[in-house]
Amino acid sequence: MAKHARNSARSAPVRTYLKAGVTAAGVGGAALAYAGALSLVPHDSTAPVSYDVLLASTGQDCTVAGADCVTGADGPAVAAATPSAAAALRPIIGPNGWLIGDGADAAADCTGRACNGQNGGLLGGNGGDGANGGSGGKAGLYFGNGGDGGAGKAGVNGGAGGAGGSAGLFGNGGKGGAGADITNSTADNPATTTVNEGDAVGGAGGAGGEGGTFGGQSGDGGKGGNATSVNGSAKGGSGGRGGLNHDASGVAGKGGDGGNATSGTGGSATGGAGGAGGESSVGGTGGEAGNGGSATAGGGSAATGGKGGNGGGAGGSGTGGSAGNGGKATSGSGKATGGAGGNGGDSTGFTGNGGDGGDGGDAVTTGTAKGGSAGSGGAGGTFGSDGADGKAGSPSASQSAKTSSDD
């Protein structure tokens, strides 16, 4: 199934789902079983209640996270049946189908748990996309793609992006949502000594979703949010971890890049760390890691580049993932330190190779500059090769700058 091509691709016709191994007889049996369960619900004998079982989509969609739904936004568990449930059933097959069907996307104006994408049908279907930092919905058991995590929103859960949903036995994991970009121009309050009201921290990126057990790609981690502070310190958000890969011939998800940080003369700037590459199962390839975010500070404020993420490990004869590079650091006259490169992913087994280490970030300033340290290559298998080490970052070439590689 194509991942979220919207409307037409997300809502496959019933015959497409039936070709996936679910017969009409099986669907009918499920419908009868559900109808029987509803008939056991006690009710007032003075107010007879009739129960309708929807055999196909009629356009009557269940509330995404309603308590009366057969399947709410948080999973395939069946809610307690009540007489009012009959009027709001999800269809068995089709859009929002509780047995086979794609889950609904979260609304753009959602709040709380309603920001999580709806799970796909019990047997198959794509998970819905999250919104405002909500997680993507999980795919159905046998087939379907996980929903994408929602992009982070300032003021909600630290601006963190939502995690991507997991795939079914066959399908792709959802992408992690990007962290929110945060800008703060507030002045520090001298009366508060333990906090600077002018600080800014970017939202963390969401983790990528797991790929299918027997086929499909893993989701990439979301990018960390950028941070900008006028009067305080700024720190970029961390990138999300790449999704786990179960396919022997697949590649684990890539880690998200760290967010960039920019500060004025009132505080330091620190780039966000790159997300780690996803782990891979026997025979698969570890995910590449995200790069560290850059840091730019004004005047004499210090700047430190974000650390590169570590490459994902690989089982068996697979190859470890490459590490991320450290972020660049730039300051006017303050200390600048490039971010360290990440370490390459290890490979276990006999013939697998380790992933390459990341390069350290460069540092530029008229003050003291220190290039980021190089990352180490990952260990190879018994008869495999270790990954190559990265290269250290370069200090500033300014003649007026003091340079350092180890202090």
Residue 194: predicted pLDDT: 82
Question: What would the pLDDT profile of 334-379 be if each residue is shown by its tens digit?
Answer: 999 999 999 999 998 888 999 999 999 999 999 999 999 999 999 9
Q: Please list, in sequence order, all residues whose beta carbon lies within 8 angstroms of the beta carbon of residue 5, skipping any fewer than 6 positions away.
A: none
* Residue 265, amino acid: T
CB count, 10 Å around CB of 238?
A: 34
Instruction: Give SS3 for 304.
Output: strand
| Cβ–Cβ < 8 Å for 51, 88 | no
| Cβ–Cβ < 8 Å for 94, 57 | yes
Q: Residue 22 pLDDT > 60, yes or no?
A: no
Residue 123: pLDDT band by 50, 70, 90 thresholds?
very high
* Residue 165, amino acid: G
Higher pLDDT, 131 or 75: 131
Q: Residue 75 pLDDT > 60, yes or no?
A: no
Residue 88: pLDDT band by 50, 70, 90 thresholds?
low
Residue 77: pLDDT band by 50, 70, 90 thresholds?
very low
| Cβ–Cβ < 8 Å for 321, 314 | yes
Instruction: Give SS3 for 17.
Output: helix
| Cβ–Cβ < 8 Å for 403, 395 | yes
| Alpha carbon distance 250, 279 (integer Å) | 11
| Cβ–Cβ < 8 Å for 370, 337 | yes
Residue 17: pLDDT band by 50, 70, 90 thresholds?
very low
Question: What would the pLDDT profile of 230-242 be if each residue is shown by its tens digit?
Answer: 999 999 999 999 9
Question: What would the pLDDT profile of 127-175 be if each residue is shown by its tens digit?
Answer: 999 999 999 999 999 999 999 999 999 999 999 999 999 999 999 999 9
| Alpha carbon distance 187, 399 (integer Å) | 35
Q: Phi and psi of 83, rounded to 5°?
A: -55, -35
pTM score, two decimals? 0.79
CB count, 10 Å around CB of 83?
A: 17
| Cβ–Cβ < 8 Å for 193, 226 | no
Residue 396: pLDDT band by 50, 70, 90 thresholds?
low
| Cβ–Cβ < 8 Å for 240, 273 | no
| Alpha carbon distance 73, 90 (integer Å) | 12
Query: Could you tell me the two tokens for 29?
Result: 């049996």
